[in-house]
Amino acid sequence: MKVLKFGGSSIGDADKIRNVIGIVKSSIQKNKKIVLIFSAFYEVTDNLLKMSQKASEGNLVYEELFKKLEEKHISIAKELLAVKTQSSILAQLKLYLNELEDVLHGVFLVKEISPRTQDFILSFGERLSTYIISHILIDQNIACEFLDSRSLVKTDESFGTAKVEFNKTYDNIRTYFNKHKKLQVITGFIGSTDNNETTTLGRGGSDYTASIFAAALNAKEIEIWTDVDGVHTADPRKVKKAFPLKGLSYEEAMELSHFGAKVIHPPTMHPALDKKIPIRIKNTFNRDFKGTVINGHADRNNFQIKAISSIDDISLITIQGGGMVGVTGIAQRIFSALGAKQINIILITQASSEHSLCIAVMPKAAALAKKALQQEFYYEIKEKLIYDPVVETNLSIIAIVGENMRKTPGISGRIFQAMGKNGINIIAIAQGSSELNISAVISGNDETKALNALHDAFFLSITKTVNLYVVGTGLVGGTLLKQIANQTDYLAKEYLLNIKIIALANSKKMIFDSNSIDPSNWKEKLQREGYKTNLNSFIREMKKLNLPNSIFIDCTASDEVASRYKEILDSSISVVTPNKRANSGSFEYYQQLKQSALNHNVKFLYETNVGAGLPIISTLTDLVTSGDEILKIEGVMSGTLSYIFTSFTNDKTFSQIVKEAQEKGFTEPDPREDLNGMDVARKLLILARETGFSLELKNIKVENLVPLPARNAKSTKEFFIKLKKHDREFETKRKNAEAKGNVLRYIASLRNGKAKISLQEVNETHPFYSLSESDNIFALYTRQYKDRPIVVKGPGAGADVTASGVFADILRISNYLS
Ligand code: ADP
Ligand code: ASP
Ligand code: MG
């Protein structure tokens, strides 16, 4: 015999019920005998709760909710029942519904609902659904009988989560089944007391009913039919990468469901375990898939853990004080005080100092629990041996479950690492003594992020995902997206790195897609679906999504965007940027950004701030962190000025060369922005700070190459006219240099904390003598590289190399991820 249970998710509408009837028919053909258990139709129990609540508040909205519920049942019955049987069944349904309406009206009048009445109201969900389905089956020539489980399942009087009296219940079931040989179609979830008052077995309790009937009847297997392919490594609604498990042990299933995996109701495992009956979770919408089997074996797979689950709203009560240290029986007293009030303790942890104890409970029990503890420890609180208990709310519990954990060291380390790298603070942590589970209490806002980060860490440690938020889609941003598009497949295949672009913004439009924006056609998508850019809402949305391994990429040159980095890093999101504005702003802000990244375990990378894609900042920081001492840094740090002076030979005047550079697009639209040296100054400032000097921009001595009269020219045209008048001065400088066999270079240098930028002559032996086109060059003189410096040379500007550098920073962060 097999017991088949269909949950509300499988019987949401007429089509889904048709599908279930198909499964029932094929099961009848395959098995000698089956028993069917049904939940209420989809969301009906929730709605019954809602309407009782409204009625008890004296709110007439309950009537509307009731009407909707009535309509849902009648329309399903009408659609699926044969016309000839319809009228008698509808008449019976009407009777049920009238009774329900009467009770609700009563609640409305007295403005109060007792747990007993609540259970009675809830029982209509299962009674209506099962009654309708049993008649649909009869209509389709399946000989069966409707069975209201209240007549057999006996419980105590704990309405809401009644305890089953197994001996009586099993006897009742066996006696009944001895007499009734037809297929039984049974209501899940409900039972009754010895006085025949209706009780319910706790939310999700239809699974339990199935297990109770299976145990009573010594069934061969229990099939729980639901809307997913089995028990997954995490709730597939919260973790997209979760995958179904082949099998797990009863204990593992119990732990998982206790900690929130709603796919199976926790007590379901007990009767099944007693009788060693396997429970198979199957998908009504993918019926050929084998699903997950829960039985006596912990199926040994290759992973360190089985699954991760979470409870999304708990309260934590902390009780602490010196009076607890070394005193025996405190935990015992807490348990009994809370037990006496029927408060379910989800988790309890004690600091090794014994100074404090944390207890997690459901939020609705928190106030009562606090009161119970205040009463129990009245004397100790009065004597200040123990502080008044403190309640924290809006927390979640994450539980990592699996029998493989027992013998595997390093699990907690991995949990801490995955959470830490995503800036998730662990408020309390507990390990079950069986080592079957480790649970952590965290802020409710971090739940999905924690689930995904842990899932990646334990199941997909080989595949990493980074989530990118790109602001600025101009030359550099656009090129970066192109490069990502070209490399996505390669990185996924060779490096098991999954790059997702979650959001894009340019100055006009922005767009979010948590499934990832295809980098090969982002333009169309942004054009089509984008909405008006607003930096505040971009940042707000990014924080709200709270995805693990998030990187904010600023490809703008904007001060406004740069001013938001701190807030972004503080939200545990890494920042990568070629934008120099933040690092060359105030030293205080620069330091704050470093500290925020450190505090939140994220990265702030900006290799492209200096020398575009050339590895300058990383080389410098590697030298500094490995203990080398930087003696001097010299460089030609502007591609534009490099071009101007390498092209400045005897056949052209200085202004002609500047003009030529402007025409080739090597300068800013107004070349004065290059010639004034401020861009180089910002770069030198960043290098100085990286070396350890707390300089400000004003501390850098800059030789401004724009001749004084040309500085306030009103237009670039006027600027060129004025510049021309100074060609002779530049020519003299060039000739003087040439006479000595030297060339002119615009050199930035840092020595003993002094930063200066000036036009200098260098001779043939100098590393900067032979430079071509717009190359940058950097010479790092250190204690270890004193006589012959480390020289880095190459193109120091351009969209391609800059975007590559940004991409390299993204990959650097990805490598750091676990
Ligand atoms: P039913 O109505 O069939 O009883 P439920 O909604 O009670 O269905 O349970 C199925 C749901 O459980 C799934 O849709 C899924 O979102 C949720 N769930 C939570 N954790 C898990 C998990 N680890 N594996 C599978 N499903 C899970
Ligand atoms: N209908 C009940 C509930 O929603 C029982 C169940 O679905 O298992 O809680
Ligand atoms: Mg369920």
Residues 763-788 have pLDDT tens digits of 999 989 999 888 999 999 999 998 88
What residue spans of 628-715 are helical by DSSP H? 639-646, 654-663, 672-675, 678-691, 708-711
Indicate if ligand 2 lies below 6 Å from the C-beta of 304: no
Q: How many CB atoms lie within 10 A of CB 596?
A: 20
Contacts of 621 (CB under 8 A, 6+ apart): 690
Indicate if ligand 1 lies below 6 Å from the C-beta of 262: yes
Instruction: Round to whole Å and give the CA distance between 534 and 437.
Output: 44
- Counting ligand 2 atoms within 8 A of each CB, the residue from 36, 39, 129, 153 with the most, and so the one to mutate, is 39
CA of 703 to the centre of ligand 1 (A): 69
pLDDT at 456: 86
Backbone angles phi, psi at 204, to 5 degrees: 80, 10
Strands 775-782 and 790-795: antiparallel
pLDDT at 403: 87
Indicate if ligand 1 lies below 6 Å from the C-beta of 263: yes
Indicate if ligand 1 lies below 6 Å from the C-beta of 623: no
Per the structure block, which two tokens stand in for 719? Answer: 């600027």
Instruction: Round to whole Å and give the CA distance between 364 and 526.
Output: 45
The atom number, within ligand 1, closest to the CA of 8 reads 2
At residue 329 the predicted structure's pLDDT band, cuts being 50, 70 and 90, is confident
Indicate if ligand 2 lies below 6 Å from the C-beta of 238: no
Identity of the amino acid at 526? L
pLDDT at 461 over 60: no
Contacts of 302 (CB under 8 A, 6+ apart): none
DSSP 793: E
Q: How far is CA 479 from CA 204, 211, 278, 793, in A?
A: 52, 59, 56, 22
CA of 265 to the centre of ligand 3 (A): 7
The atom number, within ligand 1, closest to the CA of 232 reads 24
What is the C-alpha radius of gyration for the chain, rounded to an integer number of angstroms?
36
CA of 207 to the centre of ligand 3 (A): 7
Segment 111-129 shows an average pLDDT of 97
Segment 494-500 shows an average pLDDT of 87
Per the structure block, which two tokens stand in for 782? Answer: 């250190």
Handedness of CA 116, 121, 125, 127 (dihedral sign): positive
pLDDT at 135: 97
Nearest CA to ligand 2 atom 8: 204
What is the helix (H) or strand (E) element at residue 538, kind and residue range? Answer: helix 535-545
- Counting ligand 1 atoms within 8 A of each CB, the residue from 17, 39, 235, 397 with the most, and so the one to mutate, is 235
CA of 235 to the centre of ligand 1 (A): 7
Between CA 245 and CA 247, with CA 246 as vertex, the angle to 5 degrees is: 95
* CB-CB contact of 551 with 576 (8 Å): yes
Handedness of CA 629, 633, 639, 642 (dihedral sign): negative
* CB-CB contact of 203 with 159 (8 Å): no
Instruction: Round to whole Å and give the CA distance between 741 and 764.
Output: 7
- Counting ligand 1 atoms within 8 A of each CB, the residue from 39, 226, 254, 454 with the most, and so the one to mutate, is 226
Q: Catalytic one among 683, 701, 733, 735?
A: 683
Instruction: Round to whole Å and give the CA distance between 346 and 1.
Output: 35
pLDDT at 782: 95
Ligand nearest to the CA of 201: 2
Strands 630-636 and 775-782: antiparallel
Indicate if ligand 2 lies below 6 Å from the C-beta of 267: no
Sheet holding 183-187, edge to edge: 144-147, 183-187, 34-38, 2-6, 221-226, 279-283, 292-295, 247-249
Ligand nearest to the CA of 206: 2
Give the closest residue to 446 by CA, choosing from 398, 399, 503: 398
Query: Range with the lowest mean pLDDT among 141-155, 411-425, 665-679?
Result: 411-425
Instruction: Round to whole Å and give the CA distance between 742 and 635.
Output: 17
The atom number, within ligand 1, closest to the CA of 6 reads 3
Nearest CA to ligand 2 atom 6: 204
Q: How far is CA 393 from CA 318, 389, 430, 544, in A?
A: 11, 13, 18, 19
Query: Range with the lowest mean pLDDT among 322-326, 356-360, 667-671, 808-812?
Result: 322-326
> Which of the residue ranges 314-318, 346-350, 423-427 has the most confident prediction, judged by mean pLDDT?
314-318
CA of 221 to the centre of ligand 1 (A): 20
Instruction: Round to whole Å and give the CA distance between 108 and 812.
Output: 63
CA of 185 to the centre of ligand 2 (A): 16
Per the structure block, which two tokens stand in for 561? Answer: 């965007």
- Residue whose structure tokens are 């790092």: 780
Indicate if ligand 2 lies below 6 Å from the C-beta of 204: yes
Nearest CA to ligand 1 atom 10: 263
Instruction: Round to whole Å and give the CA distance between 499 and 484.
Output: 8
Indicate if ligand 2 lies below 6 Å from the C-beta of 45: yes
* Chain centroid to CA 379: 44
Identity of the amino acid at 495? Y
Instruction: Round to whole Å and give the CA distance between 761 and 768.
Output: 10
Question: Strand, coil or helix: what is 252?
Answer: helix
Q: How far is CA 55 from CA 52, 69, 113, in A?
A: 5, 15, 9
pLDDT at 665: 82
pLDDT at 592: 96
Ligand nearest to the CA of 188: 2
Is 179 labeled as catalytic in the residue annotation? no
DSSP 386: S
CA of 228 to the centre of ligand 1 (A): 7
Segment 115-134 shows an average pLDDT of 98
Instruction: Round to whole Å and give the CA distance between 102 and 620.
Output: 79
pTM of the predicted structure, to 2 decimals = 0.71
CA of 338 to the centre of ligand 1 (A): 29
pLDDT at 344: 86
- Counting ligand 2 atoms within 8 A of each CB, the residue from 44, 200, 206 with the most, and so the one to mutate, is 206
% the chain with pLDDT above 70: 98
Segment 221-243 shows an average pLDDT of 94
CA of 26 to the centre of ligand 1 (A): 24
* CB-CB contact of 107 with 117 (8 Å): yes
Instruction: Round to whole Å and give the CA distance between 409 and 412.
Output: 8
Strands 190-192 and 604-605: unpaired
Ligand nearest to the CA of 7: 1
The atom number, within ligand 2, closest to the CA of 189 reads 5
Tens digits of residue pLDDT in 261-295 = 999 999 999 999 999 999 999 999 999 999 999 99
Per the structure block, which two tokens stand in for 619? Answer: 């080389």
At residue 616 the predicted structure's pLDDT band, cuts being 50, 70 and 90, is very high
At residue 355 the predicted structure's pLDDT band, cuts being 50, 70 and 90, is confident
Indicate if ligand 1 lies below 6 Å from the C-beta of 232: yes
Instruction: Round to whole Å and give the CA distance between 511 and 462.
Output: 30
Instruction: Round to whole Å and give the CA distance between 524 and 672.
Output: 37
CA of 262 to the centre of ligand 1 (A): 5
pLDDT at 325: 78
Dihedral angle at the C-alpha atoms of 766, 767, 770, 776, nearest 10 degrees? -130
Residue of higher predicted confidence among 234 and 650: 234
% the chain with pLDDT above 90: 82
Indicate if ligand 1 lies below 6 Å from the C-beta of 204: yes
Segment 530-538 shows an average pLDDT of 97
Instruction: Round to whole Å and give the CA distance between 583 and 188.
Output: 64
Q: What is the mean pLDDT of the chain?
A: 93
Per the structure block, which two tokens stand in for 634? Answer: 């010299």
Ligand nearest to the CA of 311: 1
DSSP 40: P
* CB-CB contact of 465 with 498 (8 Å): yes
Segment 430-449 shows an average pLDDT of 87
- Residue whose structure tokens are 């909205």: 61
pLDDT at 351: 67
Nearest CA to ligand 1 atom 9: 263
The atom number, within ligand 1, closest to the CA of 207 reads 4
Per the structure block, which two tokens stand in for 769? Answer: 């003598």
Instruction: Round to whole Å and give the CA distance between 460 and 208.
Output: 33
Indicate if ligand 1 lies below 6 Å from the C-beta of 568: no
Sheet holding 356-361, edge to edge: 347-350, 356-361, 307-320, 390-401, 437-443, 426-431
Indicate if ligand 1 lies below 6 Å from the C-beta of 7: yes
At residue 433 the predicted structure's pLDDT band, cuts being 50, 70 and 90, is low
CA of 279 to the centre of ligand 1 (A): 15
Contacts of 281 (CB under 8 A, 6+ apart): 224, 226, 228, 230, 231, 263, 264, 291, 292, 293, 294
CA within 13 Å, CB half, 227: 13
